[in-house]
Amino acid sequence: DDFISSPPRKTVRFGGTLTEILLKYEKGDTTDFELLKHQLSDPDIKDVQIINWLHEFRASVAYLTKELEQLVSILLKLPWLGRSREVVEEYLGFLGNLVSAQTVHLRPCLRMIVSHFVPPRITIREDDVDISDSDDDDENLSVSFNTCHRALQTVARYVPSTPQFLMPILVENFPFVNKSERTLECYVHNLLQVTVYLPTLRLQILELIIEKLLKLDVSTPQQDIEDAEETANNCNSEEKSTEEGLFDMEEDEGKKGNKVVSSSSERMAHPLAERLDILMTILFSYIKDVCYVNGKLDINNAKDLYRDLVSVFDKLILPTHASCHVQYFMFYICSFKLGLAEAFLDHLWKKLHDPNSPSVIRQTAGTYIGSFLARAKFIPVVTVKACLDLLVNWLHKYIDNQDTGTNAYCDVALHGPFYSTCQAVFYTLIFRHRQLLDGNLRKGLSYLQSLNFERIVMCQLNPLKICIPSVVNLFAAITRKYQLVFCYTIIERNNRQFIPVVRSGAGGDLVQTCTNPLDSFFPFDPYILKRSKKTIDPFYQFWEELSAEDLENLKKPITKGTSEDEDDDFLKGETPQNDGVVGIAQNPFESNTRSPVSSFGSPPGCYVPYP
């Protein structure tokens, strides 16, 4: 105790001061220098020894030039994290002195700090084999991470140019996706923590994280995730039935078992989906923490973060085809304030009707508008109407310009943005038609008639031939019911123009070619990651499976001359009680509109026969 409490000695144990050793080294005498390196590299080095050495090094940083980078490297490998508070404070002081006096060592210092953003590696011996793994169960991780951020802030305070040197290091240290979930979780959490005290890096860090999430997302197609979940559920059912046959569980054990099942049910069966789920949960939490201060929305913070996220959306998400989950960061931040949702729609609209943008980007912007309007619960009818007016007016102007020209024929390559916009309008109407007609059927019908769907459907560009069949069939059924336009004649003619081909190895089955010429997808289709979906579900519009009665009603047109009382009765029977929002739950329609791969034919549960 007396030794530990005594002040650090100013000389090393073999007689000379640190300055003397370094001066001897410069003159070619390396004996004491090698002994110094050996002592610093000792794995059993004690706290008091570390403090003694650091105290001397702080006074001698002027000698630690680039020629001594090997010695500095040893100092940066000292096991200072998890030590006593005195060691930590002395080491932080040493880092500050080092980078301020010798900026040549800035990068190695930053690399050392960033290397501690993940759980430390430990060696586990199994069957005489050393296995290296991350220590995911270290209870002191949060303390170590906070200390690392203090170190980074110390360095940044002494060297203002730290951010530009730090970013490449953050990129190169990002763990591979096959690392443990805990490793990825810790690293992403620490990256987001850096944005709090180095705000100039926020955009680049968000871009880095979302790029990695996007690679995970496109590597795990929705069908693969669902197949893995189904297989896992079947295995669990078999195990459960076996256990029930062999054991009679006591009541209290049963409760305990249920708790375990409940916690394990949070996990995704697909390993990459599990990693994506955890990281999306962290990203959603970060977005909320930035935008909400003391439980109240800070609109300035929300606007600043929105601008950064839109920038990342434009650069990474919009050019990526058929991602399933990552794009929901825009959905989530837009749910905080209607103004943000309207800004996002306006941003997409500008992309869509900009003739200088690539056609594929314009088409994707159209699919985002349609999917967002259909699925976002927080968008009111008045905004839906405003967007439909914009989209439909643009379609009519497009038809005006094309119908009399030489390109007035059905061709996806020529008119991709037009067809994408048509599909967005059809899709929005399928989900929102009850709300558009709610309250006053006559007024609602008058509005829908003013959109003049008949001209769009009947034009030479023939959008019904290009749009996904499941969307076309539901749109045709709804517009027939309300006598807006009769689509079935055109659908039959289009079907006759498809050339059937024999599916190889399928016993001569006939299939139609090119059922999704647009190669389109719906970016806000159901979110299926178990943990993070809890954040999205309260704001999400689910599709409600059509009952036999609903299908029958779709076949019955609304007759002209219906009285106001009959209008009200109709509305009472048709409009679901869901805060004025159409209640929607997953059904076969989802599988037909989820991705280009599965968009073949008409949805079995929603198909309305031709009259």
DSSP string, 161-205: THHHHHHHHHHHTPPPTTS-HHHHHHHHHHHHHHHHH-GGGHHHH
Residue 242 has what pLDDT?
53
CA quadruple 458, 464, 467, 470: dihedral sign: positive
Q: Give me the phi and psi of 122, to 5 degrees please.
A: -125, 155
The pLDDT of residue 580 is: 38
Per-residue model confidence (pLDDT) at position 611 = 39
Selection from 427, 326, 417, 319 nearest residue 372 by Cα = 427
pLDDT (0 to 100) of residue 133 = 53
Spatial distance between the Cα atoms of 181 and 158, rounded to a whole number of angstroms: 34
Amino acid 107: pLDDT: 96
What pLDDT shows up at residue 409? 78
Side-chain-side CA neighbours of residue 125 (13 Å): 1
The residue among 212, 322, 204, 230 whose CA lies nearest residue 278 is: 212
Q: Is 265 helix (H, G, I), strand (E, B) or coil?
A: coil
The C-alpha atoms of residue 285 and residue 35 are separated, in whole angstroms, by 50
pLDDT in the model for residue 607: 40
pLDDT for 556 equals 64
Q: Identify how many contiguous H helices and E strands the chain contains and give both numbers.
A: 29, 6
- Is the entire prediction scored with pTM above 0.75? yes
Q: Which residue has the tokens 């009541």?
A: 251
Question: What are the 10-residue block averages of pLDDT along the chain, 611 residues in total?
Answer: 53 65 87 89 90 91 90 93 92 95 94 94 59 58 94 95 96 92 95 96 97 94 90 75 48 40 69 95 97 95 97 96 92 97 97 92 95 96 96 93 73 86 95 89 92 92 90 93 90 78 48 66 92 95 71 60 39 36 35 35 37 39
Which residues are 132's β-sheet partners? 123
Dump the DSSP string for 298-336: -HHHHHHHHHHHHHHIIIIITTSTT--STTHHHHHHHTT
Question: Rounded CA gap, 553 and 478, in Å?
Answer: 10
- Per the structure block, which two tokens stand in for 271? 């390993």
The values of phi and psi at residue 273, to 5°, are -65, -35
Query: Which pLDDT score is estimated for 266?
Result: 80
Rounded distance, CA 32 to CA 14, Å?
8
Sign of the torsion formed by the C-alpha atoms of 458, 463, 465 and 468:
negative
